[in-house]
Structure 1
Amino acid sequence: MAQPVTHESEHTITVAAPADVVFGLIENVGQWPVTFPPTVHAEQIERSGDTERIRLWATANGAVKAWTSRRELDLKGLRIRFRQEVSQAPVAAMGGEWVLERLPRGGTLVRLLHDFRTVDDDPASAEWIRQAVDRNSDKELAALRDAAEQREQRADLLLTFSDTVRVTGAAKDVYDFLDRADEWPRRLPHVGRVELTEDTPGFQTLEMDTRTADGSTHTTKSVRVCFPYDRIVYKQLLTPALMSAHTGEWTVREDGADTVVTSTHTVVVNPGAVPGVLGADAGVAEARAFVRDALGRNSTVTMLHAKEYAEGVARG
């Protein structure tokens, strides 16, 4: 019986930053959604010493895929090995390694290695996977370089904040309002158009036209991962000019007879866009305040309408 074919790839980049800094960015899975363009959501499931299990949701050739991986972190050797525990078709198995090398002038050579097998050794699947690996690896390495080289400035550009609304209604009804984004144009005053697709249950692609306070409209495109009936996480693939990255989360939890709904945003401000959007005299501080106000206002409006909906259901 023929042995399954194992395909291999290697992608490299040189980063003008210390290896320990680069290693830390790769290790910190929780920040991957705002660091790596393909990553929609990431969670550390467990960690014991230098071994951990992580759960990832990421785009691959435009589709959302999810998997659990085990990682072995070797800071001394500057290596992080990973292996998918259960792969998602057409991937039968996948693993690899981040390998870092200190360079004489203080930089770091990063090598990203992959090996994979396909379901039934299908050649078309192998080509699909290779394209996804090539595309995602190039994006991840470029983003890793930028995050490492701009780490001091990035601390000022990164912004996380939350808003909360209390609801006298059922958590499921609040969740349903947030889940049914296709109904938002008739339910929310700041939403003009929505195109929602959900080819795989729980994985949504959402394109939306949103009206801003000055009357203008901007278009965003997001991938959402839904966890009924308590959480929806998302990442914008197409962001407004002021943001180079934007991820968010809706959480819905019961609190006695009430429900508490919270909207959390994590944003990376795009400094190059600030003068064109806010004027020549504006800086990062003004951009942070503007983004905080605009996103917080729209999210709060959404939660208040979810509150009205759920409380209406409760009243019958």
Structure 2
Amino acid sequence: MTVTDNEIVIAAPMDLVWEMTNDVASWPELFSEYSAAEILERDGDTVRFRLTLHPDENGQVWSWVSERTPDPVTRTVRARRIETGPFEYMNLFWEYAEADGGVRMRWRQEFTVRPELPFGDEAMADRLNTNTRREMARIKQLVEAAAQQPAGAR
């Protein structure tokens, strides 16, 4: 098992950070890498959805189904890929905590890459860390901008 663990502090109220980052249907606006997020099923707090990436440098479009269950009481989210693609498995844990100046948002990804692929866990961890840090910085910017807007304008 390989683990990536990244975090960022967002200068915005907890409820806004929680709401914006857990609204899966809006992820194509929040994340630069997603072209579509289709909600497939809801069961209580659990949502099953399909994410589609923008075409890669070779024109390939990647897509997969994931499932996530947010817990607003503990301010945590547990998620996993249903269609695992290059992974034997991929589990995700998101954690939100009050921090000086805002909310510390932490994403932990646990995975193993399929052994038949031409790259391994270390290369995938490097890619995930690069993408996660880029996306977190974007999300920080968008949520902080929303926090500056009057509540009715969001």
Q: TM-score range by the shorter chain?
A: 0.7 to 0.9
What is the alpha-carbon root mean square deviation over aligned residues?
Answer: 2.5
Deviations 1:10-37 (A, max 9, x none): 0111110112111111111111111111
Contact 1:53-1:71 within 8 A present in 2 as well: yes
User: 1:51 and 2:46 equivalent?
Assistant: yes
Residue in structure 2 matched with residue 78 of structure 1 by the alignment:
75
Amino acid at match of 2:37: A
Question: How far off its partner does 1:132 sit?
Answer: 2.5
Question: How far off its partner does 1:121 sit?
Answer: 7.0
Q: Which has the higher contact order (CA 8 A, sep 6+)?
A: 2
Deviations 1:151-186 (A, max 9, x none): 04599x99xxxxxxxxxxxxxxxxxxxxxxxxxxxx
Residue in structure 2 matched with residue 293 of structure 1 by the alignment:
none
Residue in structure 2 matched with residue 98 of structure 1 by the alignment:
94
Question: How far off its partner does 1:51 sit?
Answer: 1.0
Question: How far off its partner does 1:60 sit?
Answer: 9.2
Name which of 114, 120, 135 aligns with 1:119: 114
User: 1:69 and 2:66 equivalent?
Assistant: yes
Q: 1:93 to 1:154 in 2, by over 3 A?
A: farther
Aligned-pair identity in percent equals 27
Residue in structure 1 matched with residue 30 of structure 2 by the alignment:
35
Q: After the TM superposition, which residues 157-176 of structure 1 pair with which residues of structure 2 at under 5 Å, given as runs?
A: none
Q: In the aligned structure 1, how far is the partner of 2:14 from the partner of 2:67?
A: 22
Question: How far off its partner does 1:61 sit?
Answer: 7.0
Q: In the aligned structure 1, how far is the partner of 2:81 from the partner of 2:24?
A: 15
Q: 1:111 to 1:61 in 2, by over 3 A?
A: farther
Q: After the TM superposition, which residues 6-17 of structure 1 pair with which residues of structure 2 at under 5 Å, given as runs?
A: 6-17=1-12
How many residues are matched?
A: 150
Contact 2:9-2:99 within 8 A present in 1 as well: no
Q: Secondary structure, in 3 states, of the residue corresponding to 1:54?
A: strand
Q: Where does the alignment leave 5 or more consecutive residues of structure 1 unmatched?
A: 1-5, 159-316
Contact 1:61-1:132 within 8 A present in 2 as well: no
Q: In the aligned structure 2, how far is the partner of 1:108 from the partner of 1:55?
A: 27
Contact 1:38-1:139 within 8 A present in 2 as well: no
Q: In the aligned structure 2, how far is the partner of 1:83 from the partner of 1:61?
A: 23
Q: Secondary structure, in 3 states, of the residue corresponding to 2:32?
A: coil
Q: In the aligned structure 2, how far is the partner of 1:70 from the partner of 1:41?
A: 15
Question: How far off its partner does 1:55 sit?
Answer: 0.7
Residue in structure 2 matched with residue 87 of structure 1 by the alignment:
84
Contact 2:53-2:62 within 8 A present in 1 as well: yes
Question: How far off its partner does 1:57 sit?
Answer: 1.0
Name which of 103, 113, 126 aligns with 1:131: 126
Return the index of the structure with the highest Cα Rg: 1
Q: Where does the alignment leave 5 or more consecutive residues of structure 2 unmatched?
A: none
Contact 1:60-1:132 within 8 A present in 2 as well: no
Q: 1:74 to 1:121 in 2, by over 3 A?
A: farther
Q: In the aligned structure 1, how far is the partner of 2:11 from the partner of 2:88?
A: 36
Moved over 6 A (4+): none
Q: 1:87 to 1:60 in 2, by over 3 A?
A: farther
Q: In the aligned structure 2, how far is the partner of 1:40 from the partner of 1:72?
A: 22
Q: Secondary structure, in 3 states, of the residue corresponding to 2:124?
A: helix
